[in-house]
Structure formats: structure tokens, C-alpha cells
């Protein structure tokens, strides 16, 4: 599966990429929200993994814009923000799951 990881922490992005590649996936990484949104819009991904707090655009904004394009690619929010209102916002903006 082709996966897009949008994570501004380069070490975390590298760890995620390594684990997913070891499982046989093809992984593209963006380290800011602007690039992540542009890559997501290009299509062809089987999964989007979005960090919430990103420079340029938040993961919430990326999810919302992807869904506005009627793109049904599964979206996983991966973040330390675990307040109920953040989880609700993530799911309301189009994420399929929210992992803290």
C-alpha cells in the first residue's frame, strides 16, 4: 500500500516510515502541512497518516480539505492531543480514526 505520512518531527517521521516500509508499504513523508496537503491532493495513496500540529496547515485542515475534494482515502490522525474536543474535531473533519 502507498502511504503518506505528514509529521513535522523528522525523527518520528523516520521511525514511522521505517516500520511501514518493513511491513511492505511504500511511504512518502511530508514534514509540513502545505507539502502534505499538496501530496495528498496528488492522490494515489491508500492511507494518510496526519499529525495534528503541523507548520503551514494542521492535520485537521488537511483532512477537511481532502474530504472537501470527495476523496475517501482513509485518514488516521496520530497525535499526543488526547482531549475529547480534539478527538471529536479530528473525526468531524474527516479522519477515520484518531490515535493518541
pLDDT tens, residue by residue, 42-91 = 989 999 999 999 999 999 999 999 999 999 999 999 988 788 888 888 88
Give 90-98 contacts, CB < 8 A, sequence gap 24+: 90/52, 90/59, 90/60, 90/63, 93/60, 93/61, 93/63, 93/64, 93/67, 94/63, 94/64, 94/66, 94/67, 95/50, 95/59, 95/63
Contact 14, 23 (CB under 8 A): no
2-99 is classed CATH 3.30.1370.100: no
* pTM flag (> 0.75): yes
CA distance 49 to 40: 10
Q: What is the predicted pLDDT for the residue at 82? A: 80
Map residue 36 onto helix, strand or coil. helix
> Pick from 59, 31, 26, 17: which is nearest to 44 by CA?
26
Amino acid at each position: 500500500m502507498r502511504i503518506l505520512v505528514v509529521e513535522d518531527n523528522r525523527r518520528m517521521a523516520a521511525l514511522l516510515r521505517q516500520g511501514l516500509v518493513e511491513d511492505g508499504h511504500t511511504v512518502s513523508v511530508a514534514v509540513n502541512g502545505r507539502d502534505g496537503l499538496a501530496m495528498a491532493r496528488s492522490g494515489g495513496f491508500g492511507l494518510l497518516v496526519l499529525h495534528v500540529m503541523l507548520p503551514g496547515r494542521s492535520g485537521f485542515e488537511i483532512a477537511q480539505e481532502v474530504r472537501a475534494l470527495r476523496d475517501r482515502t482513509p485518514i488516521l490522525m496520530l497525535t499526543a492531543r488526547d482531549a475529547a474536543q480534539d478527538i471529536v474535531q479530528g473525526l468531524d473533519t474527516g479522519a477515520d480514526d484518531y490515535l493518541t
